A and B are shown apart, each in its own frame.
Chain A
Amino acid sequence: GENVEQHPSTLSVQEGDSAVIKCTYSDSASNYFPWYKQELGKRPQLIIDIRSNVGEKKDQRIAVTLNKTAKHFSLHITETQPEDSAVYFCAATLGNEKLTFGTGTRLTIIP
């Protein structure tokens, strides 16, 4: 099955700086890579996703890059704000059935 590793487990950045979270996956046939944000005490919510036929996708301050050769993908948040503080999960799916999540990154934005 698929295995997803996520780093770092915790990340603190100054407000206004950029944050980068990296994930690696094991199965080269994986084809869909979403990122979910979970605020404290809340449910996870999708913030951005990328499919295997695309190398990069941006949505305002958030971007995701995919390197299929190296089997890794990254979340980039620019101009960080206090409301970006949350736990972020990457995930990968092989085919269209199972969804495997990483272990999460707790991001803290320091005012």
Chain B
Amino acid sequence: EAQVTQNPRYLITVTGKKLTVTCSQNMNHEYMSWYRQDPGLGLRQIYYSMNVEVTDKGDVPEGYKVSRKEKRNFPLILESPSPNQTSLYFCASSLASSTDTQYFGPGTRLTVL
């Protein structure tokens, strides 16, 4: 089954404790991205990747890191999480670019205390 998976689905952590949210797709997609969803603010792009080893900042990259060592995986890293990073996070992938259909993962709800 073609899909985008994220882990964990739910995470409660404390300020400053490094964490990684994994994202994987099995559709051989080139383009992958991360979004955060907050009430009243919609979906905001954090980082995107056009291909392996190619990543770039979205609209809200501060406090986040990403890597794209393999085509199928695009982990989101919070090296020192803060309470303002409490949010619902979505990973998405598409065939080649932002102008193709984005397939979203199930979401990761993160709470930083």
Contact = CB atoms under 8 A, between A and B. Distances in A.
- Secondary structure of the B contact surface, majority rule: loop
Nearest to B91: A43
A91 B94 CA distance: 15
B42 A6 contact: yes
Given A43-B106, A43-B107, A44-B104, A93 B99 contact: yes
Interface string A100-111: 111110000000
Interface stretch (B16-24, B44-52, B65-73, B77-85): B44-52
Interface residues of B, number: 24
A81 interface: no
- Secondary structure of the A contact surface, majority rule: strand
B2 interface: no
B98 A43 contact: no
B40 A98 contact: no
B33 A99 contact: yes
Interface residues of A, number: 26
B62 interface: no
Given A96-B97, A97-B50, A43 B45 contact: no
Contacts of B42: 6, 89, 101-104
Interface of B: 33, 35, 40-45, 48, 50, 56, 58-59, 90, 96-99, 101-102, 104-107
27 contacts: A9-B40, A32-B98, A32-B99, A34-B101, A43-B104, A43-B107, A44-B43, A44-B102, A44-B104, A89-B42, A89-B43, A91-B43, A93-B99, A96-B98, A97-B48, A97-B50, A98-B45, A98-B98, A99-B33, A99-B45, A99-B48, A100-B59, A101-B35, A101-B43, A101-B45, A102-B42, A103-B41
